[in-house]
Structure 1
């Protein structure tokens, strides 16, 4: 909430949401699931005429304790602005038994962005994914998901920050999710 005091000094709505996601996640860990955003909302409403209240309220409405990194937050905001459906964040994806007797499902992976109904997984690939050992793990995860019928989309910083790459990413995800290009906001 103290960020309201320094708004207008270069902070954007996205910057405040990034900070809000971190705070909400930490509060959820210490107080219990769902408590972070509630505690933040109570704090904002308890203040008398806080600076930046309009922007802070907007940011709070966009905050999620399920986001695990600033770039996950920025990608999620890009999806929203682009007109894509909201994904589950850092969600477990399971596999179905292929033994023919309706057996059990099992853990497959945790996806950064999961659109379960469309069987699409988006994975933000930050700098730590560049190491060959991590790439090997990432490719194995991708193959597991694709073997189970999921579409796997890698997302990079350029897809968020560079207009042409952002438009391409939104189109690619839109196709995978069954969203008409006419329904996307590509500006």
Structure 2
């Protein structure tokens, strides 16, 4: 917020009569295209990126989205979008999926293949990990998804590298009911 406040004080205010200046938007509301202020702001904050890596575990999808205990043996796949907000490239990034067995015990279910480099400047990368359905039990399966990199010791914010996920395995088909997974940080 301080970066934005300082930066915005140096930009000309929007003048309704001349329709010139900046209205505080980084993107044009109608076209969603980045405007000059957005470009300038992006360049300004890039100079203030954390010195190391800053991997962020963003969105997660499970396939198949609905699991039924009576289903034939199958593979469960998690796809996670990852980006790096830091100034250094993250090297050999992996996604690990752990099942929370309770009382602080975790079982490793899957590890994704290493992605050689997750570049700095917030470019998205998708990682995939899969494991056999038999590793899950009927009911709620609390999972922990976490990112790991070879140069992870340079990580600035470790909290955004993990995500709790509850994967429910149903006893029988749900018919026409709606199933919503729960993901929290």
TM-score by length of 1: 0.21
Report which of the two has the higher share of helix. Answer: 1
Report which of the two has the higher share of strand. Answer: 2
Structure possessing the higher radius of gyration over alpha carbons? 2
Whose relative contact order is higher, 1 or 2, with alpha carbons under 8 Å and at least 6 apart? 2
TM-score by length of 2: 0.21
